[in-house]
Structure 1
Amino acid sequence: MDSSAPPREPILTLPGALTAYVALLAIIHGVCALLPLDLDDLVFGLFAFIPKRYDQTLLAMPFAGGTPAKIWTFVSYSLLHANLSHIGFNVLWLLPFGSALARRFGAVRFFLFMAVTAAAGAAAHLLTHEHALAPMIGASASVSGAMAAAIRFAFVRGSFLSFNRGDADEAARVPALPLLRSLRDPRVLAFLAIWFGTNIIFGVGSIAIGAEGASVAWQAHIGGFFAGLLLFSLFDPIPRLPREFDAPSSDLAEPH
């Protein structure tokens, strides 16, 4: 046995960037849980995403934070959660997909990606809930974006959802397929069908997960998902395969 061989890192060991992101969500939620009710309401008024905040009609009303809050709430809402089950559900889905993405992108790209997909989710929610007064919170749009980005390389041989994978860092750095090529992979199509079907069922059926009395903002999920799927290449530091090697993902050689 070659004792000089480096140890293989477990596939689900969390990278530092994801650990920091999850810790930030937990700390913010913990602090909000300890606040008096009036201060908690103020925090939500300042940092939750409220479509009514952008109302330009005569029915417009003032909100905490004024004009600057119209900018930061496109991202800050994603750091707030209603309760432990709400934050736990988001973190549960983020662990496998966000872990691979954080390893691949590095900390700066990962945090920027989560912010961009959160903003895309807020934009989709605003388009479909114009004038709505109910606040939207939660990291679901960013989590959806991370899932969409991860499937661009997740099924490639050697990656974290393949049956022939290496250690965590190696699995996160396999070359991604072009978007159109990915969308011809039956496994990716099956994943998309399940993901969209689940969101439509929970959204149209008004089934809430993790937030009593609150419906799922499935339009924001879809906005974040499409942003992650389409913008992945702008963040990806790993060179794609040359066109001559654009083979079906099941036939790709395992990276060395």
Structure 2
Amino acid sequence: MDASPDLPRQGRVPVFNLPGIVTVSIAVLAGIHVVRSVLPDETDLSVLLNLAFIPARWTAAFDPNSAADIIRAAGEGAGGPEMASARQEFARYLVADPSAMPWTGATYALLHGSWMHLIFNAVWLAVFGTPVARRYGVLRYGLLALAGILAGAVVHLLVDPCSLMPLVGASAGISALMAAAARFVFQPPPPFVAGAPWQLPPRPRLQTIPELLRNRSAVLFLAVWLVTNLLFGVLALPLGGSEGPIAWDAHLGGFAAGFFLLPLMERGSGGRG
């Protein structure tokens, strides 16, 4: 009689050791960009206008009296008279029939400005989305990313309400996942003595904010992230292959959403936070 325990069946070793939802997220973003790359320019422009988040459009929808301010601000940007005139024509187009198009507060995250922009975001999504997806599962991973995307759009609108620059990219959602991961990855695992080879150690609890501020690794990570975003935002430099300056305010909004909403999800999953 064989007295050895029944061990769990071993599956095939995956090519990419990523949770399925993270792999799907990256594949969806890449697939959308592939489709956009083969669309005619006019069609792709229509996709951009209907899915990107444009602060001036939302401002005009909420306050129709702001139309004159939006058009005037469009003529005061950088560039020569022709560029200013083009921006003002675009502003007039947006305010002529103002509609916030509320779905753009989320759909902008599906679009990217270039392949380098997409690759840059995909790498960070793989790095920080993975621990969050493994700890909380598909639903909470998705809710947290969506909360970051929405918060990023709101903060971007509040900071630059008359901007005509379409906001695209999943960075705000990734920032939320990044902030969430920072709450538990920068600490040693709890003591654990396995009773059987297949038993998994308990997951580390969330660090409180005072504990996080005493964690040198976490503080260094947070400081570098914050300074990098503010630096590139102040200097208006592109980052990660994007065609325009990064929306540092959207990143901060997404980061704050992930950082402060995660404990609510932790309680809902029965963990400690």
State the Cα distance separating 1:213 from its structure 2 match: 4.1
State the Cα distance separating 1:233 from its structure 2 match: 1.1
Residue identity matched to 1:147: M
Residue identity matched to 1:35: L
Post-superposition Cα deviations, 1:45-94, rounded to whole Å, max 9, x if no partner, equal: 0110100111222337564996461x211111011001110000011111
Query: Which residue of 1 is the match for residue 103 of structure 2?
Result: 72
State the Cα distance separating 1:208 from its structure 2 match: 0.7
Query: Which residue of 2 is the match for residue 224 of structure 1?
Result: 254
State the Cα distance separating 1:3 from its structure 2 match: 9.1
Check the 8 A contact 2:152/2:252 in 1, yes or no: yes
Match of 1:199 among 209, 225, 229: 229
State the Cα distance separating 1:134 from its structure 2 match: 0.8
Check the 8 A contact 1:175/1:238 in 2, yes or no: no
Residue identity matched to 2:127: P
Match of 2:244 among 214, 221, 228: 214
Residue 58 in structure 1 maps to residue 89 in structure 2 = no
Residue 148 in structure 1 maps to residue 179 in structure 2 = yes
State the Cα distance separating 1:170 from its structure 2 match: 5.3
Match of 1:124 among 132, 143, 155: 155
Query: Which residue of 2 is the match for residue 189 of structure 1?
Result: 219
RMSD, matched Cα: 2.9
Match of 1:174 among 204, 215, 225: 204
> For 2:28 and 2:128, how far apart are their aligned partners in 1?
18
For structure 2, the 5+ residue unaligned runs are 71-91, 191-198
Query: Which residue of 1 is the match for residue 271 of structure 2?
Result: 239
Q: Rg: which structure is higher? A: 2
Check the 8 A contact 1:202/1:208 in 2, yes or no: yes
Q: How does 1:83-162 map to 2 (within 5 A)?
A: 83-158=114-189
For structure 1, the 5+ residue unaligned runs are 160-168, 242-256
Residue identity matched to 1:177: Q
> For 1:3 and 1:183, how far apart are their aligned partners in 2?
45
State the Cα distance separating 1:101 from its structure 2 match: 0.5
Task: Evaluate the alpha carbon distance shift between residue 86 and residue 112 of structure 1 in structure 2; reply closer, same or farther with a 3 A threshold.
Answer: same
TM-score by length of 2: 0.75
% identity of equivalent residues? 37
Aligned pair count reads: 230
1:106 partner SS: helix
Task: Evaluate the alpha carbon distance shift between residue 43 and residue 180 of structure 1 in structure 2; reply closer, same or farther with a 3 A threshold.
Answer: same
> For 2:259 and 2:160, how far apart are their aligned partners in 1?
23
> For 1:195 and 1:171, how far apart are their aligned partners in 2?
30
